[in-house]
Structure 1
Amino acid sequence: MPDHAHSSDPAVQAQLDRLAALSPGRDILGLERIAELCARLGNPQARLPRTFHVAGTNGKGSTCAYLRAILEAQGRRVHAYTSPHLVRFNERIRLAGQLIDDALLASLLEEVLDAANGLQASFFEVTTAAAFLAFARTPADDCIIEVGLGGRLDATNVIPAPAVCGIASLGIDHEAFLLAPEDGTPSPPAERIAWEKAGIVKAGAALATLAYPGPLARVIEARAEAVGVVPFVEGEAWSIEPAGDAFRWSSMDGTLPALLRPRMPGLHQMRNAGLAIAMLHLAPGAKPGPDAIAKGVSAAFWPARLQRLEPGTLTALVPPATEIWLDGAHNADAGAHLARFFANEPRRIHLVTGMLANKHPDAILAPLAQHLASVTVVPVPGHEHHDAKAFGRNAKAAASVEAALSSLDVDPANEIVLISGSLYLAGEVLRTNGELPD
């Protein structure tokens, strides 16, 4: 299923309509089409500045946000390519610190779509090529590339020589693509996922990772060894030491002098920040100093990742002082992160959820079960989604997030609201509440 995209700019929308008509589906993975498309465009992926390539099931977008914030605090100009967008397609491409403007975006998409004629390229392949073209033509010091899906066969993996690769949290997701039968791949699902993610590791690139269970760690180590790379692994080469809402980062080379206090809450975000610092520690060239690291960690923000909504159209539908949290969690790994964050929360949770039909409701329900006051299920606009029956007999249905919030009987002193289940739903929530990612 392609990512749906809309723009208020007619020129951009004309190109997004062309994008929406491209062939989606199982054939989306593979490097042949993106390689040919980039060749037709003069191979812009070979002319990028110092590049950081980040894979993972969850946390890769947040890791990219930490990388960018620290590098910008260092005074560097940074390109970034991330996905999916939440509200505006422009969010995917950040040029030297700024979201790409509509005029340039429309021009680039038109150029790439014209070059893709006859290739049967996918939505993501065209978008990736457009980002590479923009990055190659706009001066910057660094380039951050987030893997879209998997790693080994993801369109972003056409980049020839990243300076540093990073692998964030691993879990089961996108099974139809990443667990499709293929000779020569690991049989256990979790190991196959690790194997696919490790496919971004290339000779000459440094590699930083989180700590993983033994079988997964061995898969990644085998890939690294095959290309002559020594992994920089959490718990062995670097570590974080949590201290309340802050943490201290250490490596085999020493400890950063100050406690680091992330803006984004949760232990998993401390680990994502730690991974970003580890990647920067390995990068060739100028290193960010302790002040830049501290400033970047405290400034980094990635929307719809345990984001507390600000006053707006949606928050006005519940009693004053009600906390509404938004998170795009949609798989078991992300559900576990949510459960850890809310583990010591004394208040009950009213869950408002919408989940794509190819996801598993228990991924969110099971970890949060003991904390739930109610479950209200809403559609995910523009996508096939589960109905309320999939969430159990106590779940109720609502026609929209607005309707769900209006129906809740919330006691702000003893209860909170969590909206979760899909990044597409999260985008609708931010748009409706007037919180556009920038």
Structure 2
Amino acid sequence: MTQGSDVILERMMTLHPKVIDLTLGRVERLLAALGNPERRIPPVIHIAGTNGKGSTQAMIRAGLEAGGARVHAYTSPHLARFHERIRLAGELVSEDLLTQLLDECVTANGGDEITFFEITTCAAFLAFARVPADWTLLEVGLGGRLDATNMVDKPRLTIITPVSLDHEAFLGDTVAKIAGEKAGIIKRGVPCIVGPQHPDGLAVIEAKANALGAPLWVYGQHWNVWEERGRLVYQDENGLLDLPLPNLPGPHQVQNAGAAIAALRLLGKDEAACEAAVSRAYWPARMQRLRQGPLVDLAPQVELWLDGGHNPAGGEAVAATLARMPARETHLICGMLNTKDVTGYMRPLAPHVTRLHAVSIPGEKNTLPAEATADAARSAGLDAVTAASVAEALATIAATTPEARVLICGSLYLAGTVLRENG
């Protein structure tokens, strides 16, 4: 990021502390001051859920773009650069435009209180209202009901990916309470696609949809998806699709692909769009193989992977992916935030891993210290040591097991650091 937007983002972080404070009043005020750009953006597909939001969005985008559509997309958090959050008609927002948008929002906000996520969401709405496109994909930042993205009155479609425990301090301590927050994106009369859910969560989502007359397309009832003989099979009332497995690795991506295909089918898209969704999606730090860069050069024989999952469901998804890979000694390099269920994340991984190398996340004030991460790993049944950095851990592994499989994992913030360091 060059100086313009970098300076403004730094200023915003000091003016408006990066705190989670769920309410819509501040966003409503700023959007009104900006002329309500959220009312002028292309048709919206709004996605909430605990896991799989970003992957599902990436697949929908690939499917829509394959048919020639221009697609805006908003996602968070970013990994290496803030620009990743805002995609305009297929392209990442330019430095000059981002600087101009942020400046405009800061000016319109005056000195009033607002969070970093809220003001950047307003900047995205401004951009989406001004650049022509056919669709807008909005990923919820946190929860749904009180999330800054939930200012669109009439989306074309909403999607709720699997809901599980995460961010309990803000969203509630049961799946039902969290599902209630996610279901806050459901709008009167607007179709909602629902991915696989815990029965408690599904009951809450169904009750909300019934109250608002929102038609539901529920996994296991209205559509289904599974893997068969190395292919993805999708079925709904309109028939069967036999497609390649998703190019995003991991068995959990089959379910995410199902939600994306359900969305495309509901929008009237053809089989070619659905095939593009599973074969052309790009979503970094979700079981991403790193094949070049300084970290790869440091341990050229190591099979190096990166994943940003950070809650128990994320740990289960990674474990299921590792279980299906060819046998190979596997090490984790793991850094996590102190706000997460660390042992819950690690427990499913223990049977698949030789050793965990714990690191602190550089430059992140909420990082769990490496020693605490190692302690949690041991309590989850893992052999664990600490390292001063990802590079040091990687060098240690390469010195003793040069052909190991190494997965850097535990946090999107750690993944972002790795992607920046690895170029």
Global fold match (TM > 0.5):
yes
Are 2:289 and 2:305, in contact at CA under 8 Å, matched by a contact in 1?
A: yes
Is the 8 Å Cα contact of residues 145 and 182 (structure 2) preserved in structure 1? yes
Deviation of residue 295 (structure 1)? 2.1
Cα distance in 2 for residues equivalent to 1:226 and 1:382: 45
Does 1:135 find its partner at 2:135? no
Q: Kindly provide the amino acid, as one letter, of the partner of residue 310 in structure 2.
A: H
Query: Are the equivalent residues in 2 in contact too, given 1:52–1:143 (CA < 8 A)?
Result: yes
Query: After superposition, what is the alpha-carbon deviation per residue over 1:324-377, rounded to whole angstroms, capped at 9, x for unaligned?
Result: 111001101101111111124422321100101111221332111112211111
Which residue in 2 is equivalent to 1:89? Answer: 82
Deviations 1:309-338 (A, max 9, x none): 1122101222x3321111001101101111
2: CA distance between counterparts of 1:247 and 1:128? 35
- Alignment RMSD, CA only? 1.5
Tell me the distance in 2 between the aligned counterparts of 1:119 and 1:164. Answer: 33
Secondary structure of 1:75's counterpart equals coil
1:282 to 244, 247, 266: 266
Q: 2:297 aligns with which of 291, 316, 323?
A: 316
Is 1:236 the counterpart of 2:216 in the alignment? no
Separation in 1, partners of 2:139, 2:400: 38
Gaps of 5+ in 2: none
The residue aligned with 1:419 is 408
Whether contact under 8 Å (2:336, 2:368) holds in the other structure is yes
Residue type matched to 2:401 in 1?
D
- Alpha-carbon deviation of 1:428? 1.1
Aligned to 1:354: 335
Match 1:62 to one of 33, 55, 61: 55
1:291 match: 272
Question: What is the alpha-carbon distance in structure 2 between the residues aligned to residue 22 and residue 196 of structure 1?
Answer: 28
The verdict on how the C-alpha distance between 1:94 and 1:410 changes in structure 2, with shifts beyond 3 A counting, is: farther
Q: TM-score normalised to the size of structure 2? A: 0.94
**Match 2:317 to one of 334, 337, 340:** 337
Matched, 1:303 2:284: yes
Partners in 2 of 1:57 and 1:138 — Cα distance?
30
Q: CA deviation at 1:245?
A: 4.2
Deviation at 1:192, TM superposition (A): 0.6
Structure 1 residues 418 and 27, CA gap change in structure 2 (3 angstroms): closer
Could you tell me how far apart the structure 1 residues matched to 2:20 and 2:111 are? 15
Give the direction of change, closer, same or farther, for the CA distance of 1:239–1:36 in structure 2 (3 Å limit): same
The one-letter code matched in structure 1 to 2:387 is: A
**1:271-310, CA deviations, whole angstroms, 9 ceiling, x for partnerless residues?**
1111011122223xxx221112212320101100000111
Shift in Å, 1:433: 1.4
Residue 198 of structure 2: aligned partner: 213
Distance 1:368 1:244, change over 3 A: farther
Q: Is the 8 A contact 1:95 1:134 kept in 2?
A: yes
Distance 1:402 1:26, change over 3 A: closer
Tell me the CA shift for residue 388 of structure 1: 3.2
Asked if the contact 1:79/1:143 (under 8 Å) is kept, the reply is yes
Counterpart mapping for 1:115-130 below 5 A:
115-130=108-123
SS in 2 for 1:38: helix
Maintained 8 Å contact 1:307/1:327: yes
Match of 2:141, SS state, is coil
Instruction: Classify 1:27/1:358 alpha carbon distance in 2 versus 1 (closer, same or farther; 3 Å).
Output: closer
Matches within 5 A, 1:360-371: 360-371=341-352
- Describe the SS at the equivalent of 1:24: coil
Identical columns (%): 47
Quote the residue 2:385 is aligned against: 396
Q: CA deviation at 1:27?
A: 5.4
Counterpart for residue 139 of structure 2:
146
Aligned-partner residue type, residue 232 of structure 2: F
Do residues 156 (structure 1) and 145 (structure 2) align?
A: no
Q: 1:111 aligns with which of 93, 104, 111?
A: 104
Q: What CA deviation, in whole Å up to 9, does each residue of 1:22-65 have, x standing for no partner?
A: 33366521111111110000101111111100001110001110
**Alpha-carbon offset, residue 397 of structure 1:** 1.7
Partner SS, residue 249 of structure 1:
strand
Whole-Å separation in 2 of the counterparts to 1:274 and 1:410: 41
Measured after TM superposition, the shift of residue 412 of structure 1 is: 5.2
- Say whether the 8 Å CA contact 2:86–2:93 is kept in structure 1: yes
Distance 1:43 1:103 in 2: 22
**1:174-216: CA deviation from partner (whole Å, max 9, x where unpaired):** 122112xxxxxxxx61111111101100012110011212211
Q: Which amino acid aligns with 2:264?
A: L
Alignment counterpart, residue 421 of structure 2, candidates 425, 432, 435: 432
Residues of 1 paired with 2:115 and 2:30: CA distance? 11
Instruction: Measure, in 1, the Cα distance between the counterparts of 2:164 and 2:141.
Output: 15
2-structure distance, mates of 1:27, 1:354: 22
Quote the offset at 1:74 in angstroms.
0.9
Match of 1:255 in 2: 240
Contact residue 261 and residue 274 of structure 2 kept, 8 A: yes
Moved more, 158-167 or 113-122: 113-122
C-alpha separation between the residues in 2 aligned to 1:131 and 1:14?
18
